[in-house]
Amino acid sequence: MMGRLLVTGGAGFIGSHIIDTALEAGWEVAALDNLSTGSRDNLPGDVPLYEVDLRHPEAVHAAVADFRPTVISHQAAQASVSVSVRQPVLDADINILGGLNLLMAAHHYGTERVIFASTGGAIYGEVDAGRADESAPVRPYSPYATSKLAFEYYLQTFYQQWGLEFTVLRYANVYGPRQNPHGEAGVVAIFTARLQAGLPLQINAREEPGDDGCVRDYVYVGDVARANLRAATGQIPRLMNVGTGAETTTRQLAQQLAATLGRPAELEFGPHRSGDLKRSVLDPGMSRAALGEPLDLTAGLQHLANWLEART
């Protein structure tokens, strides 16, 4: 038995993959989630779920007191940039104050380590050329980026004050099975749902309508889960990007996904979406050294297609 891992946001997209990977590796696992965007169906039936909102300190403390995790993988969040712009107080309430409720409970009940789902995409801002490595300047231009960065600093503080170990993982754009298509983020999930429904795919402009769209670094969710598991045993640096370093335009993604799913790609072109980064690519050097080569987009989309196929 490896230890006891509590995954907040465990009923969500990334959290549920962390749970699958942790179970395979022999961890005792539980999820904490308020099911606001996650679903019980994402969890294996025998995994305990604490249906708790991070904003309720007593409930968070009761869950941590009951499960007594050795490690917490903190994935639960208000995870939408545009919601954070419209409702910065809500974003901070969940991502900063809710996170602090969790850290207080972790400290109080003797958790050894907290792993945090941070965001390379939002924290580095525009990456005009090359790739952002972990020492790149931070430019938190959305309330979401600011709340994630603030929590990174709180982790430092809890470590300095009380010795609570931590790992910050700054994810690129994550995709894979179980991603929720019902938002405005998660372009792979949105395009997948539209292709399956025979609907056109919209390429929002990088500069002008009709161009190839914004540039992103798409990382497969299985690699993100592996990074979390490796972090759980303290085998990776305190701050690490989780990306591939490969750059993909929205048009390339649309065409490659359509080809992988065997569907025709009908493209539509929209204007630049205000607030969207034009280019975001992460340096994968550190995570490659820790975890090996990440899956490339071709292999990752094929995994997604196989999963979709198995469901029908």
Ligand X SMILES: NC(=O)c1ccc[n+]([C@@H]2O[C@H](COP(=O)([O-])OP(=O)(O)OC[C@H]3O[C@@H](n4cnc5c(N)ncnc54)[C@H](O)[C@@H]3O)[C@@H](O)[C@H]2O)c1
Q: Which token pair is 114?
A: 């907290």
> Shortest Cβ distance from residue 13 to ligand X (Å)?
3
Binding mask 48-77 for ligand X (x = CB under 6 A): -----xxx-------------------xxx
> Shortest Cβ distance from residue 54 to ligand X (Å)?
4
Structural contact between residues 297 and 218, judged by C-beta atoms closer than 8 angstroms: yes
Out of 144, 171, 175, 218, pick the active-site residue: 144
Cβ neighbours, 10 Å, residue 310:
8
The phi, psi pair for 279, rounded to 5°, reads: -145, 130
Return the number of the residue (119 or 146) whose C-beta is nearest ligand X. 119
Nearest Cα residue to 299 out of 253, 255, 249, 260: 260
Binding mask 135-174 for ligand X (x = CB under 6 A): ------------------------------------x-xx
Cβ neighbours, 10 Å, residue 222:
18
The question of whether 144 is a catalytic residue gets the answer yes
Site for ligand X contains 220 (CB under 6 A)? no
Residues 96-125 that bind ligand X (CB under 6 A): 98, 117, 119, 121
Q: How many residues does the chain have?
A: 312
> Shortest Cβ distance from residue 22 to ligand X (Å)?
15
Q: According to CB under 6 A, which one of 25, 35, 49, 136 is a site residue for ligand X?
A: 35
Report the alpha-carbon distance of residue 92 to residue 68 in Å, rounded: 26
Report the alpha-carbon distance of residue 190 to residue 85 in Å, rounded: 21
Site for ligand X contains 260 (CB under 6 A)? no
Catalytic site positions: 144
